[in-house]
Amino acid sequence: MDGAPPVSFVIPCRNDAGLLGNCLDSLFRLDPRPELVVADASDDRFPVRDLCAHYNAQLVEVDAPCRGAQLDAGAALAGGEVLIFHHADSEFSQAHYNSLRDLFVRDPMLGGGAFLKDLAAAYPRLAWLRPLHRFFTRHIGTMYGDQSVFVVREVFEMMGGFGDLPLMEDVSFSARLRDTARVKVIDPPLRSSRRKFTHDGVWRRKLENMRLVALFRLGVSPEKLAQVYYRPGARSPGI
């Protein structure tokens, strides 16, 4: 796919070397091989260091867990023209990679975007809403972190990155990206691990996320919301 810009994956990690290993293994097999950057805030740094050395991934270690700060630190280390902010518990196949690279060949002036979410996989009972969900996500919906948001480096730097937001960094970034540049939400849809739903329950998890997003848009600080989100026992490990 001649003419496609070089791509860097930025992957935040926090106490979940097992998932990170599976993620790096998948990304390492992509052709042509992208740059891999891990932004780690784990308590035990050694497993992540070993994984990064094995998969030739660059590593930046952040002292305190903060998703926004981790993503910005990873982006600062990355060298690609297109940055993909990818969660370790989301899939990313050669088909996704080809779709992304082809997009920028066909539309080199694009500023960024994300992948569609596989609604049927995340919420099987809502599969009938897929056409509406696709339309909403493509045109006005928030591009969440588990949709592997991507952005041209120049646009990212112009926006000032994510900022030191411990939570809701994706909600804030998505809104600013749509206001700053032309974006596209593309196929194929992405699937993420269902372990968070197994731990919390599908509807409990969904409703809690909706509540937190609503509170953020009403002006509640990300720091206060992070205290709720990461309270002991509220989430499965590493999320």
H helical segments located in the chain = 17-28, 46-54, 67-77, 94-106, 119-122, 130-139, 153-159, 169-180, 195-200, 202-217, 222-229
Where along the chain do its domains lie? Answer: 7-194
Residue 110 CA to residue 236 CA, distance in Å, equals 36
Residue 197 has pLDDT above 60, yes or no: no
Residue 118 CA to residue 185 CA, distance in Å, equals 12
- Read off the pTM: 0.89
pLDDT for 237: 44
CATH class of 7-194: alpha beta
Residue 225 CA to residue 239 CA, distance in Å, equals 14
Cα-Cα-Cα-Cα torsion 165, 170, 171, 173, nearest 10 degrees, comes to 80
Residue 194 has pLDDT above 70, yes or no: no
pLDDT for 236: 47
Residue type (1 letter), 212: L
List pLDDT tens digits, range 45-62. Answer: 999 999 999 999 999 999
Are the C-beta atoms of residues 60 and 38 closer than 8 Å to each other? Answer: yes
Q: What's the Rg (C-alpha) of the chain?
A: 17
Higher pLDDT, 140 or 205: 140
Nearest to residue 74, comparing CAs of 142, 149, 5, 12? 12
Residue type (1 letter), 204: R
List pLDDT tens digits, range 109-131. Answer: 999 999 999 876 666 676 777 78
Residue 225 CA to residue 227 CA, distance in Å, equals 5
